[in-house]
Amino acid sequence: MTKTFDARQLWSLPRVGAPAVAGPDRLVVPVTTFDVDENQGTTRLWLVDGEGGSEPLTPEELNATKPIVSPDLRRLAFVAAKRGESDKQLYVVDISGGEPEAVTDLPLGCLGGRWLPAGSELIVLAYVLRDHLSTDATAAELERRKKAKFTVHETEFATYRYWDLWLTTGEVPHLFRLDLEDRQLSDLTPNAIRWWQWPNTDDPWDNFDISPDGRFVAFSADASDPPHRQLRHSIFELDLTTGEERELTPTAPSHASRPRYSPDGREILFGQQIQPGFYGDRVRLAISDRASGVHRILTEEFDRSCDMWTFDGQEEIIFLAEDHARTALYRLSPIQDGPIELARGGTLASPVVDANGTVFMLRHGFTQPPEVVRLDSEGALVPVTHFTDPHLTDVAWAEIEDHTIPGADGEPVQFYLVNPPGDSGRKPLVHLIHGGPHACFGDSWQWRWHGQIFAGFGYRLALVNFHGSTSFGEAFTSSIRGAWGDMPHRDIEAVTDHLIGLGLVDEARMAIAGGSYGGYLTAFLTTQTDRYAAAIVHAGVTNFGGTYASDVTAGRPQAYGAEIFEDRARVDRYSPSSHASGYQTPTLVIHGEKDYRVPHTQGLELYGVLKAKGVPARLLFYPGENHWILSPQASLHWYGEVERWLNLYLNVKP
């Protein structure tokens, strides 16, 4: 018997992570499973062959991530914490069998490791405290803090929080050399105080690489000066023999990221953005000649943002890029013009290449959770892993349609239409509005805001890639700078009108819902129109002035058109709070207290104004959650409340 996909089934699925090469046609794959009753997940590492056969490498009592295989393919290093604990250390296990052994005991845990070519040592990335730069001093300071009778966050930095982290606690990453024979750990960057990426988004572990000869480490780190309002990540190289460090991209105007050495060690490949303060700027691939120091942009004529680049084992590069709301895999030669598309379909992630030149990666889509696939000689993507298949045998999936219509100013706007399973008649409409705004609704599997679950509630969904979305070219992405509420607002309305005109939706039963920027656009729309019967604003920006309490305040002129202290009227033009007289749509307001990107006061202010006006409103405030609802039980509660709110105002169920 088939059934619609629901939130509890979502949390029953194994979550397959990025593969690591363990030899020709052999991989190590992380797989996370969740215990809803315990409200936590555990990740195990599995050895997988090219035909999909698998066996666990780590025990259930270890939460193991970030696998990396030794050069001789005999040992596996990974980061793990014991079940129920948060202290993550580096472990090593023989791939042929045996018990994993912790090889570090760092006071702030381990962020990840990479093998040196000889296979007897690793480079380990770990935090120490800025004012206590040795591991011993860090351990002593942590012990002192445990005994302190009060806590205070002190700073004069402009950037002092990030997503859900306080940066005032002082963690800075250091590189250590670990000798596995005598377990000696030596600090390679004893005076380093630069920030790298933070683990909530781009993992710092993915932002360093070791040269083929084992003498150098290249890494990406912040090169901005205090007070660090405008961060600028640059590429650095550390000589492991002399300890000398040099900055390779000191004149780069914006972020340089994710360095990778070429197989011959002569060049370093990295990502480069050009426009300071504009995170939606496309990432170009650049390459630096280590002898001359000359940098070249390889993809300036390629009007898409590059991601997950690596060398194919020879001198050619493979990378991923979003294109028209899907992901494609490309190959690029540094000596030829332009990338060549190798494959596309759904969403691709985390490509790796084995010794035979076979490319493995994750693939997922609207009806397919992430699984590992390989690229065959004909350009087809062949499934390798099947961890989720047994859980999805009886699901009736919603039908997905891909549409493009004239949007704002008559320009093409693409959207996905998600139809309730087994029902082609006129239905209530729910717009799910994506965040960013410089992101997109792709053909992808979502662990949050899953379209199949909403369709299972009985709604027809519109997933609009409005102006400002990525994957449609640089001009399209940049078109909303300084006017957040203009073209996206008109795009949403154009899709609504189009669907009403087709007779697919019930005009009296329509809703809008979104998170982050999607929450913003939802709130703004409710100030401009009363055509929607209900709204859901999750972690939404509702007062532009209040976003100066956000973790990152650089880039406000790009987003709002000006700094608030320069041109308040221009900033307020598209701020929902400046149009609060228009609020009249029943609105479910949701926020996590640990959200530092969109401070929770934004949601509380919206809720307070709605209540003051007498507009029907309900508040969901999650003290333990951040910008996203991540824990199993909170997520299930979230889905239940969202369904009840929509049902109440769209009259789908009693």
Got the DSSP string for 104-172? ---TT---EEEE-TTSSEEEEEEEEETTB-SHHHHHHHHHHHHH-S--------S--EETTEEGGG-EE
Given a cut of 90, whether residue 345 has pLDDT beyond it is: no
At residue 421, the pLDDT reads 87
In a domain, 431, yes or no: yes
Query: What is the chain's Cα-based Rg?
Result: 25
Would the CA dihedral through 641, 538, 164, 63 be positive or negative?
positive
Amino acid at 611: K
State pLDDT tens for residues 597-609: 999 999 999 999 9
Tokens (6 digits) for 14: 């194994």
In a domain, 601, yes or no: yes
Closest listed residue to residue 278, CA positions, set 251, 254, 313, 311: 254
Given a cut of 90, whether residue 360 has pLDDT beyond it is: yes
End-to-end distance of the chain based on CA atoms, in angstroms? 25
Domains in the chain, number: 1
In a domain, 608, yes or no: yes
In a domain, 550, yes or no: yes
Given a cut of 60, whether residue 275 has pLDDT beyond it is: yes
State pLDDT tens for residues 278-327: 888 999 999 999 999 899 999 999 999 999 999 998 789 999 999 999 99
Which residues have C-beta within 8 Å of that of residue 179, sequence separation ≥ 6? 120, 121, 185
**Quick one: which H or E segment has residue 517?**
helix 517-528
Tell me the mean pLDDT in the region 20-34: 95
At residue 205, the pLDDT reads 87
Task: Please say whether the beta carbons of 333 and 344 come within 8 A.
Answer: no
Given a cut of 60, whether residue 1 has pLDDT beyond it is: no
Alpha carbons 641 and 588: distance in angstroms, whole number: 9
In 299-384, which residue ranges form alpha helices assigned H by DSSP? none
Alpha-carbon distance values, 457 to 402, 429, 650, 653 (Å): 21, 11, 11, 9
At residue 86, the pLDDT reads 82
Identify the band that residue 354 occupies on the pLDDT scale cut at 50, 70 and 90: very high
Task: Please say whether the beta carbons of 566 and 573 come within 8 A.
Answer: no
At residue 654, the pLDDT reads 44
In a domain, 564, yes or no: yes
Task: Please say whether the beta carbons of 379 and 372 come within 8 A.
Answer: no
In a domain, 170, yes or no: no
In a domain, 561, yes or no: yes
At residue 335, the pLDDT reads 74
Q: Say how many C-beta atoms besides its own lie within 10 A of residue 421's C-beta.
A: 18
At residue 652, the pLDDT reads 65
Given a cut of 80, whether residue 424 has pLDDT beyond it is: no
Alpha carbons 364 and 369: distance in angstroms, whole number: 5
| % helix, strand, coil for the chain, step of 5 | 20, 35, 45
Which residues have C-beta within 8 Å of that of residue 335, sequence separation ≥ 6? none
Sheet with 381-383: strands ordered across: 347-353, 359-365, 368-375, 381-383
Given a cut of 60, whether residue 358 has pLDDT beyond it is: yes
Given a cut of 80, whether residue 200 has pLDDT beyond it is: no
Alpha carbons 197 and 552: distance in angstroms, whole number: 13
At residue 20, the pLDDT reads 96
Q: What is 229-249 written as a DSSP string?
A: SS--EEEEEEETTT--EEES-
Task: Please say whether the beta carbons of 14 and 364 come within 8 A.
Answer: no
Amino acid at 195: W
In degrees and rounded to multiples of 5, residue 442 shows phi and psi of -100, 175
User: b or e along 37-53 (b: 16 or more beta carbons within 10 Å of the residue's beta carbon)?
Assistant: eeeebbbbbbbbebeee
3-state SS track over 463-480: EEECCCCCCCCHHHHHCC
Given a cut of 70, whether residue 201 has pLDDT beyond it is: no
Which residues have C-beta within 8 Å of that of residue 30, sequence separation ≥ 6? 16, 17, 18, 43, 44, 45, 46, 64, 65, 66, 67
How much is the pTM?
0.94
Closest listed residue to residue 419, CA positions, set 366, 367, 465, 461: 461
Alpha carbons 651 and 645: distance in angstroms, whole number: 10
Given a cut of 60, whether residue 83 has pLDDT beyond it is: yes
Closest listed residue to residue 193, CA positions, set 177, 163, 173, 214: 173
Tokens (6 digits) for 429: 């409409």
Domain that holds residue 597: 399-650
Peptide bond preceding 437 in cis form (omega within 30 of 0): yes
Alpha carbons 542 and 517: distance in angstroms, whole number: 10
Q: How many CA atoms lie within 13 A of 35 on its CB side?
A: 9
At residue 653, the pLDDT reads 58
At residue 603, the pLDDT reads 98
In a domain, 164, yes or no: no
Identify the band that residue 337 occupies on the pLDDT scale cut at 50, 70 and 90: confident
State how beta strands 317-323 and 40-49 pair. unpaired
State pLDDT tens for residues 91-113: 999 999 889 999 999 999 999 99
Percent share of the chain, pLDDT over 90:
91
Given a cut of 70, whether residue 459 has pLDDT beyond it is: yes
Domain containing residue 472: CATH number: 3.40.50.1820
